[in-house]
Amino acid sequence: MLAGCGEIKPVYWIQPDMRFKIGRVELEIVRGDITTQGTEAIVNAANSSLMGGGGVDGAIHRAGGPKIKDECAKIRNESWPDGLPAGKAVITSGGNLKADFVIHTVGPVWRGGNSGEGRVLENCYRNCLELADGEGIGSMSFPSISTGAYGYPVCEAGRIAVRTVIEYVSSKETHLEKIRFVLYSEPDLKTYEAISEKELGRRL
Protein backbone atom coordinates (compact mmCIF):
# COMPACT_ATOMS: atom_id res chain seq x y z
CA MET A 1 0.00 0.00 0.00
CA LEU A 2 1.05 3.61 -0.52
CA ALA A 3 2.32 5.27 2.63
CA GLY A 4 -0.44 7.27 4.30
CA CYS A 5 -3.04 6.26 1.72
CA GLY A 6 -4.96 3.64 3.68
CA GLU A 7 -6.16 0.80 1.47
CA ILE A 8 -5.06 2.33 -1.82
CA LYS A 9 -2.61 0.03 -3.57
CA PRO A 10 -0.03 1.35 -6.05
CA VAL A 11 -0.34 0.60 -9.76
CA TYR A 12 2.82 -1.11 -10.99
CA TRP A 13 2.38 -1.65 -14.72
CA ILE A 14 4.55 0.50 -16.95
CA GLN A 15 2.84 2.64 -19.58
CA PRO A 16 3.18 6.20 -20.93
CA ASP A 17 -0.06 7.28 -19.31
CA MET A 18 -3.22 5.98 -17.71
CA ARG A 19 -6.57 6.93 -19.24
CA PHE A 20 -10.16 6.67 -18.07
CA LYS A 21 -13.48 7.68 -19.61
CA ILE A 22 -16.07 9.68 -17.66
CA GLY A 23 -18.99 9.98 -20.05
CA ARG A 24 -17.41 11.61 -23.09
CA VAL A 25 -14.57 13.18 -21.08
CA GLU A 26 -11.18 11.45 -21.09
CA LEU A 27 -9.15 11.63 -17.88
CA GLU A 28 -5.40 11.10 -18.21
CA ILE A 29 -2.80 10.56 -15.49
CA VAL A 30 0.75 11.23 -16.71
CA ARG A 31 4.20 12.00 -15.38
CA GLY A 32 5.73 15.09 -16.90
CA ASP A 33 6.35 18.82 -16.89
CA ILE A 34 3.21 20.94 -16.70
CA THR A 35 4.89 23.71 -18.71
CA THR A 36 5.29 21.52 -21.80
CA GLN A 37 1.72 20.26 -22.03
CA GLY A 38 -0.13 20.83 -25.30
CA THR A 39 -3.64 21.03 -23.85
CA GLU A 40 -5.54 24.24 -24.52
CA ALA A 41 -5.06 25.31 -20.91
CA ILE A 42 -2.76 24.43 -18.06
CA VAL A 43 -3.40 25.20 -14.40
CA ASN A 44 -0.88 27.11 -12.33
CA ALA A 45 -0.61 26.42 -8.60
CA ALA A 46 -0.05 30.12 -7.96
CA ASN A 47 0.57 32.20 -4.89
CA SER A 48 -1.82 34.99 -4.01
CA SER A 49 0.41 37.69 -5.52
CA LEU A 50 0.05 36.11 -9.01
CA MET A 51 3.55 37.41 -9.69
CA GLY A 52 5.33 34.07 -9.81
CA GLY A 53 7.22 32.16 -7.16
CA GLY A 54 8.77 28.76 -6.65
CA GLY A 55 7.81 25.32 -7.91
CA VAL A 56 5.12 25.07 -10.60
CA ASP A 57 4.33 28.78 -10.31
CA GLY A 58 7.85 29.93 -11.06
CA ALA A 59 8.33 27.35 -13.80
CA ILE A 60 5.19 28.51 -15.64
CA HIS A 61 6.15 32.17 -15.42
CA ARG A 62 9.68 31.45 -16.65
CA ALA A 63 8.51 29.30 -19.55
CA GLY A 64 5.59 31.56 -20.48
CA GLY A 65 7.54 34.78 -20.49
CA PRO A 66 6.60 38.32 -19.39
CA LYS A 67 3.16 38.39 -21.04
CA ILE A 68 1.72 36.15 -18.33
CA LYS A 69 3.10 38.34 -15.55
CA ASP A 70 1.81 41.49 -17.27
CA GLU A 71 -1.69 40.02 -17.52
CA CYS A 72 -1.54 38.86 -13.90
CA ALA A 73 -0.52 42.36 -12.82
CA LYS A 74 -3.55 43.76 -14.64
CA ILE A 75 -5.83 41.27 -12.90
CA ARG A 76 -4.35 42.25 -9.54
CA ASN A 77 -4.81 45.95 -10.24
CA GLU A 78 -8.35 45.66 -11.56
CA SER A 79 -9.89 42.78 -9.57
CA TRP A 80 -7.76 41.50 -6.70
CA PRO A 81 -5.62 44.36 -5.31
CA ASP A 82 -5.05 42.47 -2.05
CA GLY A 83 -4.11 39.24 -3.82
CA LEU A 84 -6.08 36.29 -5.15
CA PRO A 85 -7.76 34.42 -2.27
CA ALA A 86 -7.17 30.70 -1.82
CA GLY A 87 -9.69 28.63 -3.78
CA LYS A 88 -10.33 31.29 -6.43
CA ALA A 89 -9.14 31.11 -10.05
CA VAL A 90 -8.32 33.57 -12.84
CA ILE A 91 -7.22 33.12 -16.44
CA THR A 92 -4.52 34.62 -18.63
CA SER A 93 -3.07 33.82 -22.01
CA GLY A 94 -0.32 31.23 -22.23
CA GLY A 95 2.40 33.58 -23.40
CA ASN A 96 5.22 31.48 -24.87
CA LEU A 97 3.78 28.18 -23.66
CA LYS A 98 2.24 25.53 -25.91
CA ALA A 99 -1.03 26.02 -24.02
CA ASP A 100 -3.21 28.92 -25.15
CA PHE A 101 -4.31 29.73 -21.59
CA VAL A 102 -3.07 29.52 -18.03
CA ILE A 103 -5.63 29.25 -15.25
CA HIS A 104 -4.12 30.45 -11.98
CA THR A 105 -5.46 29.20 -8.66
CA VAL A 106 -4.19 29.53 -5.10
CA GLY A 107 -4.25 26.33 -3.09
CA PRO A 108 -4.56 26.04 0.67
CA VAL A 109 -1.62 25.68 3.03
CA TRP A 110 -1.87 22.40 4.94
CA ARG A 111 -2.55 23.08 8.63
CA GLY A 112 -3.36 19.55 9.76
CA GLY A 113 -6.65 19.09 7.92
CA ASN A 114 -9.02 20.73 10.39
CA SER A 115 -8.96 24.27 9.05
CA GLY A 116 -11.13 23.89 5.96
CA GLU A 117 -8.25 22.99 3.66
CA GLY A 118 -10.25 20.29 1.87
CA ARG A 119 -13.09 22.63 0.97
CA VAL A 120 -10.66 25.24 -0.32
CA LEU A 121 -8.76 22.69 -2.41
CA GLU A 122 -12.03 21.40 -3.87
CA ASN A 123 -12.91 24.99 -4.78
CA CYS A 124 -9.57 25.35 -6.57
CA TYR A 125 -10.35 22.46 -8.90
CA ARG A 126 -14.02 23.33 -9.38
CA ASN A 127 -13.36 27.00 -10.10
CA CYS A 128 -10.66 26.08 -12.62
CA LEU A 129 -13.04 23.69 -14.36
CA GLU A 130 -15.83 26.28 -14.44
CA LEU A 131 -13.49 28.95 -15.77
CA ALA A 132 -12.29 26.61 -18.52
CA ASP A 133 -15.86 25.77 -19.43
CA GLY A 134 -16.78 29.44 -19.54
CA GLU A 135 -14.03 30.02 -22.11
CA GLY A 136 -15.09 27.03 -24.21
CA ILE A 137 -11.81 25.22 -23.51
CA GLY A 138 -11.75 21.59 -24.59
CA SER A 139 -8.66 20.27 -22.82
CA MET A 140 -6.73 21.21 -19.70
CA SER A 141 -3.89 19.96 -17.52
CA PHE A 142 -3.68 20.16 -13.73
CA PRO A 143 -0.65 19.84 -11.49
CA SER A 144 -1.07 18.43 -7.98
CA ILE A 145 -2.20 21.63 -6.27
CA SER A 146 -0.82 22.44 -2.79
CA THR A 147 1.28 19.27 -2.43
CA GLY A 148 4.63 21.04 -2.81
CA ALA A 149 5.69 23.92 -0.58
CA TYR A 150 2.18 24.20 0.89
CA GLY A 151 2.57 20.73 2.41
CA TYR A 152 -0.76 19.10 1.55
CA PRO A 153 -0.40 15.27 1.79
CA VAL A 154 -0.53 13.81 -1.71
CA CYS A 155 -3.00 11.06 -0.85
CA GLU A 156 -5.59 13.45 0.59
CA ALA A 157 -5.03 16.05 -2.12
CA GLY A 158 -5.21 13.43 -4.87
CA ARG A 159 -8.54 12.10 -3.62
CA ILE A 160 -10.01 15.61 -3.61
CA ALA A 161 -8.61 16.36 -7.07
CA VAL A 162 -9.89 13.19 -8.71
CA ARG A 163 -13.29 13.20 -6.99
CA THR A 164 -13.91 16.86 -7.80
CA VAL A 165 -13.17 16.28 -11.48
CA ILE A 166 -15.43 13.21 -11.56
CA GLU A 167 -18.27 15.04 -9.83
CA TYR A 168 -17.95 18.06 -12.09
CA VAL A 169 -17.96 16.27 -15.44
CA SER A 170 -20.64 13.82 -14.28
CA SER A 171 -23.08 16.48 -13.16
CA LYS A 172 -23.29 18.86 -16.12
CA GLU A 173 -22.76 19.39 -19.81
CA THR A 174 -19.20 20.52 -20.40
CA HIS A 175 -17.05 21.75 -23.27
CA LEU A 176 -14.18 19.76 -21.83
CA GLU A 177 -13.18 16.61 -23.66
CA LYS A 178 -9.84 15.90 -21.98
CA ILE A 179 -8.59 16.54 -18.46
CA ARG A 180 -5.04 15.59 -17.57
CA PHE A 181 -3.27 15.33 -14.23
CA VAL A 182 0.46 15.95 -14.71
CA LEU A 183 2.61 14.67 -11.86
CA TYR A 184 6.25 15.60 -11.52
CA SER A 185 7.48 12.66 -9.43
CA GLU A 186 7.04 8.91 -9.75
CA PRO A 187 5.57 8.52 -6.23
CA ASP A 188 2.96 11.21 -6.93
CA LEU A 189 2.15 9.56 -10.26
CA LYS A 190 1.61 6.19 -8.58
CA THR A 191 -0.62 7.79 -5.96
CA TYR A 192 -2.85 9.52 -8.52
CA GLU A 193 -3.00 6.36 -10.64
CA ALA A 194 -4.10 4.29 -7.67
CA ILE A 195 -6.71 6.82 -6.57
CA SER A 196 -8.11 7.13 -10.10
CA GLU A 197 -8.35 3.39 -10.55
CA LYS A 198 -10.10 3.02 -7.21
CA GLU A 199 -12.59 5.78 -8.05
CA LEU A 200 -13.18 4.89 -11.70
CA GLY A 201 -12.40 1.19 -12.08
CA ARG A 202 -11.41 -0.06 -15.49
CA ARG A 203 -8.97 2.06 -17.46
CA LEU A 204 -8.86 2.51 -21.24
Cβ contact 82:93 at 8 Å? no
CB-based contacts of 184: which residues, under 8 Å, 6+ apart?
31, 32, 33, 34, 143, 144
Give the strand order in the sheet containing 89-93: 18-22, 25-31, 178-183, 139-142, 41-46, 101-106, 89-93
Known catalytic membership, residue 57: yes
Residue 158 to residue 140: CA distance in whole angstroms: 17
DSSP secondary structure letters along 79-139: T-TT-PPTT-EEEEE-TTSSSSEEEEEEPPPPSSS-SSHHHHHHHHHHHHHHHHHHTT--E
Phi-psi region of 6 (alpha: psi -120 to 50; beta: other; left: phi over 0): left
Among the listed residues 57, 70, 100, 188, the single catalytic one is 57
Catalytic residues, by residue number, are 57
